[in-house]
Amino acid sequence: MRKWLTVALLLVFGGLAHAQTPAQTAQPVNGAGPDNGTANQRLVVIELFTSQGCSSCPPADAALRSLRDRPGILTLSWPVNYWDRLGWEDTFAKPNNGMRQAAYNKRLGRGGVFTPQMVFDGRLQCVGSKPDEIRMGIAKERAIKSLFVSPVIKQSGSHISVSLPETALKKDATVRVVWYLGDAEVEVGGGENSGRLLHYTNVVRRTDILKDWDGRAVSLSLDAKRGEAAGADHVAILLQSGYRHGPIVGAASLTLNTPPKVFKASMP
């Protein structure tokens, strides 16, 4: 059954922190390994709020995995920590991930948070383990005829450049960088999933606010070592309208110039 948690939060939703190589540029395809976001391809950004301590979450984690290599889709997994009290501390969860989920739900008119929950472009949500609802959410977002900005991301060595084209925005947009890990396996040693080996994809390891963008053309610089230090092997840029957890109006991602890896965590 779905996991629900009613929260009364007084939050200030800030930024969430928690040998030369050839230049690499995001290409208009999708996946944890492939990159997406050049040209004017519209991406549907699907965010899953999940927990290693939630017995209802593995089917949603598997659903997210099946979606990540589909063209025109960028998936991100945001592990939350509010089920840690059930006997297992999620090895990837950060408190700010739950704050992001709560901000979405407040704007969408929901009174609490639950797992597994999928959010589509910051506009629609559904239970993350229900295939029909997932298909409907993707279809609805693809049918929306609205502005979509495609940042251009390039990497050369440890330097990453992000270019935003001049755009007539209705509202300023927050530019968010998300460092994420393509694949991870966790052997759960307690709680509702005790004894299970769980596979996760596109797990957010770190995220930061870069700036508020008014639509003027701009170039930004990132250090790939910042993401690698957090355990990430991919980077994504999200543009969110109005404020830091608003509707997503632009996105792109890039595989970092690091050897592909699968994170494995075993029971202590």
Query: Quick one: how far is CA 60 from the chain centroid?
Result: 14
Strand residues in 3-147 grouped as ranges (E) = 3-6, 24-25, 44-50, 73-79, 112-115, 117-120, 124-127
Q: Please indicate, yes or no, if residue 154 is contained in any of the structural domains.
A: yes
Domain of residue 161, residue span: 20-262
Number of domain units in the chain? 1
Kind and range of the H or E run holding 97: helix 95-107
Q: Write the pLDDT tens digit of every residue in 145-169.
A: 889 999 999 999 999 999 999 999 9
Q: Please indicate, yes or no, if residue 47 is contained in any of the structural domains.
A: yes
Q: How far apart are CA 225 and CA 211, in angstroms?
A: 20
Q: Please indicate, yes or no, if residue 10 is contained in any of the structural domains.
A: no
Please answer whether residues 154 and 25 qualify as being in contact, where contact means their C-beta atoms are separated by less than 8 angstroms. Answer: yes
Q: Does residue 183 surpass a pLDDT of 50?
A: yes
Q: Please indicate, yes or no, if residue 8 is contained in any of the structural domains.
A: no
Q: Write the pLDDT tens digit of every residue in 56-80.
A: 999 999 999 999 999 999 999 999 9
Q: How many residues does the chain have?
A: 268
- For residues 53 and 3, which has the higher predicted lDDT (pLDDT)? 53
When mean pLDDT is compared across 6-10, 128-132, 161-165, 257-261, the lowest value belongs to 6-10
Share of the chain above pLDDT 90, in %: 78
Question: How many CB atoms within 10 Å of residue 267?
Answer: 12
Q: Please indicate, yes or no, if residue 80 is contained in any of the structural domains.
A: yes
Q: Please indicate, yes or no, if residue 15 is contained in any of the structural domains.
A: no
Q: Please indicate, yes or no, if residue 5 is contained in any of the structural domains.
A: no
Q: Does residue 36 surpass a pLDDT of 70?
A: no
Q: Please indicate, yes or no, if residue 2 is contained in any of the structural domains.
A: no
